[in-house]
Structure 1
Amino acid sequence: MKKLGFLFISLILLGCNGTPKKENTSIATVNPKDCIKQIFEKDSVFGHIRNYDSEKASVTEAINNYVKNAKTLDFSNCPEGFETAFKKHVDAWLNFRKVSDKHPTLRGELHEIFAMIEKTEDSIVFKSSLKQIFDTWTVVKEASK
C-alpha cells in the first residue's frame, strides 16, 4: 500500500513537472496590411478633426492637434517605408505652419481657409507648402501597397 501511494504521488509530481508550458497565443499580431489599414482609419478621423478644428481655433492650432494625434499612431507592425513616408507627411503639415502662423484669425473649415489664404500675398508659399502635403500623401499611398 505504501508503494502504491508513493507511486501515485510520484506520477503526480512527474506529470506536473513534465507538462510543457504553453506559449501565450492570445496576443494578436497584426500583419502589415492590417497595420496600414488601421493607420489610414485613424488618420482619417484625425484629419476630419483637423479640418473642422479650424472653425474654432487657428489653423496652426488645428495642425498642432493633428500632429499630436498622428504621433500617437502605432507603426510597430507596419512596413518601415510606410512609417517613414507617413512621418514625412506629418512633417509637411508642420512645415505648413509657416503659412498658417501668418493667418491666426482666420476661421472656417480648413479648405475654406485654404481658399482665403490662396488669395493673399502668401499664395506662393501656400501653394508650395500645400503641394508638399499632397506630394508626401502620394508617397504614403504608394508605400501602402
Structure 2
Amino acid sequence: MIKKGCFGAILIFIALSCGNSNTLVSAKQSDDCMQRLIAIDDSLGKIRNRQCMELSLSETIQKYAEAMKTIETQHCPNELVVAYRSHREAWEAMLEVTDNYPNLRGEMHVLFKELEQSNDQVLFKKRLDAIWSTWADVEKFAPK
C-alpha cells in the first residue's frame, strides 16, 4: 500500500521524468535541426560556388540568401537561428561590392581572389571577414 505522501512524491517523480523525456526529444530534434541546417547550407554553398559561372555574383548571392531563408529552423536552438541569420546578412552585405562587377563570371573562390585585388578590395575584405566570422559562429553548433 502506498502512503499519501509517497504517492505525491511518485507523481512528482513521474511528472519530472516525463519532462526529462520531452527534453531528450527536444535535444534530439535540436541536434537533427542543426545537422540538417549545416548539411543543406553545404549543398547550397556548392551550388552557389558554381552558379556564378553563368550568373553574376550578385544574382548568385541573392539566390543563395533567398534559399537560406527557406531552411526550416523550428527545432534549432535560437542561438543557431540568430547566428545563421547573421551569416545570411553578411552575404547580403557583400552585394555592396559585387554589384560593381556584374560581368564577372567564374567559380566563386576564383572571383573572390580577383576582388581581393580590385578597387573595392578594402570593402571586399571587410565583407568577406564578416562572412567568415559569422560562419564560425554557425559552425559552433555543428555536431561533433
TM-score (norm 2): 0.78
- Partner Cα distance (1:81, 1:59) in 2: 29
CA RMSD, 1 decimal: 1.5
- Partner Cα distance (1:53, 1:108) in 2: 8
Q: Do the aligned residues in 2 keep the contact of 1:82 with 1:144 (CA within 8 Å)?
A: no
- Partner Cα distance (1:31, 1:109) in 2: 35
Q: How does 1:133-144 map to 2 (within 5 A)?
A: 133-144=131-142
Equivalent residue for 1:45, pick from 43, 49, 52: 43
Query: Structure 2 counterpart of 1:108, which letter?
Result: G
Equivalent residue for 1:88, pick from 86, 89, 93: 86
Name the residue aligned to 1:100: 98
Query: Structure 1 counterpart of 2:112, which letter?
Result: F
Q: How does 1:48-87 map to 2 (within 5 A)?
A: 48-87=46-85
Aligned length: 118
Name the residue aligned to 2:110: 112
Tell me, what secondary structure is at the counterpart of 1:108? coil
Larger % of helix: which? 2
TM-score (norm 1): 0.78
Name the residue aligned to 2:129: 131
> What is the Cα deviation at residue 101 of structure 1?
0.4
- Partner Cα distance (1:42, 1:144) in 2: 12
> What is the Cα deviation at residue 31 of structure 1?
1.1
Unaligned runs of 5+ in 2: 1-24
- Partner Cα distance (2:33, 2:62) in 1: 24
Once the two structures are superposed, residues 94-117 of structure 1 have per-residue CA deviations (whole angstroms, 9 ceiling, x without a partner) of 000001001110000000000111
Unaligned runs of 5+ in 1: 1-27
Structure 1: 4+ residue segments shifted above 3 A: none
- Partner Cα distance (2:123, 2:69) in 1: 25
Query: Structure 2 counterpart of 1:137, which letter?
Result: W
- Partner Cα distance (2:83, 2:121) in 1: 26
Once the two structures are superposed, residues 41-89 of structure 1 have per-residue CA deviations (whole angstroms, 9 ceiling, x without a partner) of 1111111111111000100000011011111100000000000000000
Query: Structure 2 counterpart of 1:103, which letter?
Result: Y
